[in-house]
Structure 1
Amino acid sequence: MLGIFREKLVNAPKELNSPASLNSCTKPKLSNEILKDFMSCNSSNAFSMCFGNDALLAHSPSNNPSIHHRLFSGLDDIYCVFLGGLDNLSKVNKQYGLSKGTNEAMFITEAYRTLRDRGPYPADQVLVELEGSFGFVIYDNKHGTVFVASGSNGQIGLYWGVAADGSVVISDNVDLIKASCAKSFAPFPTGCMFHSEHGLMNFEHPRRKMKAMPRIDSEGVMCGANFNVDSQAKIQMMPRVGSEANWATWGI
């Protein structure tokens, strides 16, 4: 899986961009180079979708679906790449009035659309109720927003970094991220969600702030940053009212 989003769409944490990338023997790559690398190292059924010059999604279905699902869904100009599997998929499909044949990517897309347009249910509560292993990236082309989440059990590893043109790169392939972003990359934090307009939040502890921790690689060089829950700092929460409490516009 690969997602690349221009800087004007995604305001990533500044700590993700390491100044050591400028002096690294491996230089950050441009978006078209990263896509070329992804397509060349994946199976012949890999595909990509470009949304003008602002966003790009690429997907390669799994050759061994018994390990983890690798799914893609597109609905109403909302596109989702999903990795993993939900143990309570039947339950949440029923909760949202979806058919038994709805897979995880379709469910996430439908849930996102429902909460964006109509539901007052907060995004963190939706995610904390999902059982199983998951990581996903949503691109909402209609609103120009990006939504990313990673399950708390850490079985699905996502990584994010900064490309040569400042774009944010997200993938489950750590080697691709390293080769694309030089020193400006890090694991995407587990149990967390990221919204392109509202930043990073831990969905298990939504009232706690996230804190960037220095990340040192095997060469002793500062490399991106890890993000952990700050147990000492709380977010001042405003009551969620009506449609303002959804995935597309979650606020403070």
Structure 2
Amino acid sequence: MLAIFKEKLVKAPKELKSPAAWTKPKLSDEILQQFMRCNSSNAFSMCFGNDALLAYSPSNIHQRLFSGLDDIYCVFLGGLNNLSMLNKQYGLSKGANEAMLIIQAYRTLRDRAPYPAYQVLKELEGSFGFLIYDNMDRTVFVASGSNGHVALYWGIAADGSLVISENLDLIKASCAKSFAPFPTGCMFHSEHGLMNFEEPTKKMKAMPRIDSEGVMCGANFNVDSQSKIQLMPRVGSEANWASWN
């Protein structure tokens, strides 16, 4: 999986950018070309104007799913142990897969649900990482499960675009030193930033990450145990996945 979002659509965390001037990230077009070369037999890509790009290749080793509905697109990695129960809860058929479920949950919460995104993510049992792009609202939503069994990585391309993939080698080659693991147990929204959905009342803190060469390489984001966010209860149609509280 590869996702690239231009800077005017998504503001990447500034801490991801490395000050190492001698290493140069690639441009978005070069990153896509590399992905397609490495997955030439079964990969496809989708461009949404000049601002967003999704590329996908099925895997026979690990579950990797792609689904699109009503101009909402989801790439899901891993699996949910309670998929059947959640399908029933959201009114889906027994045959609906995890990517279909995530789209339905996102759409339900975006449009009418009275509780916040972190509460929904806590209901997902299993190993997972997923990315949603809502082309109608021009919104990006990314989440990674708490157990860390499904790894995602994010970085910054040469043109300032946010790059997301589960392929560490691709991220390293694309973003040079300006990348980091996407933090587990966390969700990122293009308008509201990063939050730990296990501890939603705590702020996230960027910690400089030094690689094996002693060079500052992006940042790790951890829960700041000393911080406190006041969560106000929400009711009615205003509560959705775009709201952290």
State if a TM-score over 0.5 links the two structures: yes
CA distance in 2, matches of 1:109, 1:218: 39
- The answer to whether structure 1 residue 178 and structure 2 residue 172 are counterparts is yes
Secondary structure of 1:45's aligned partner: coil
User: Residue 113 of structure 1: which of 90, 107, 110 is its match?
Assistant: 107
Residue aligned with 1:201, SS: strand
Choose which of 35, 43, 48 in structure 1 pairs with 2:32: 35
Matched, 1:71 2:65: yes
**1:104 corresponds to 2:98:** yes
- 5 Å-filtered alignment, 1:24-63, equals 24=23, 27-63=24-60
Match of 2:226, SS? strand
Paired with 1:43 and 1:190, the residues of 2 have a C-alpha distance of 30
Q: How far apart, in 1, do the equivalents of 2:149 and 2:40 lie? A: 23
Describe the SS at the equivalent of 2:237: helix
Partner residue of 2:140 out of 133, 136, 146: 146
Q: Deviations over 1:150-188 (max 9, x none)?
A: 000001000000000000000000010001001100000
1:200 is aligned to: 194
Shift of 1:205: 0.4
1:202-248 residue CA offsets vs partner (Å, 9 max, x unmatched): 0000110000011000000000000000000011223223222211x
Give the counterpart letter for 1:191 in structure 2: G
CA distance in 2 between counterparts of 1:51 and 1:91 reads 33
Q: What TM-score results when the alignment is normalised by the length of structure 1?
A: 0.95
RMSD: 1.0
2:238 to 217, 237, 244: 244
> What's 1:228 paired with?
222
Equivalent residue of 2:220, what SS? Answer: strand
Gaps in structure 1 of 5+ consecutive residues: none
Give the Cα separation in 1 of the matches to 2:40 and 2:219: 31
Residue matched to 2:127: 133
> Which amino acid in the other structure matches residue 151 of structure 1?
G
Structure 1 CA distance for aligned equivalents of residues 72 and 150 of structure 2: 22
Count how many residue pairs are aligned between Structure 1 and Structure 2: 245
Contact 2:115 2:235 (8 Å CA) reproduced: no
Structure 1 stretches of at least 4 aligned residues deviating more than 3 Å after TM superposition: none
Check the 8 A contact 2:116/2:244 in 1, yes or no: no
Counterpart amino acid of residue 8 in structure 2: K
Structure 1 equivalent of residue 157 of structure 2:
163
CA distance in 1, matches of 2:238, 2:2: 30
Change (3 A) 1:109 1:134: same
CA distance in 2, matches of 1:225, 1:110: 32
Give how far 1:190 is off: 0.2
TM-score computed with the length of structure 2 as normaliser? 0.98
Q: Alignment partner of 1:142: what SS?
A: coil
Deviates more, 1:10-19 or 1:187-196: 10-19
- The letter for the 1-side match of 2:114 is P
| Aligned partners of 2:66 and 2:99 also within 8 Å | yes
Kept after mapping to 1: 8 A contact 2:25/2:174 = yes
In the alignment, which residue of structure 1 is the partner of 2:4? 4
The reply on whether 1:83 has 2:77 as its aligned counterpart is yes
Aligned partners of 2:11, 2:228: CA distance in 1, in Å?
22
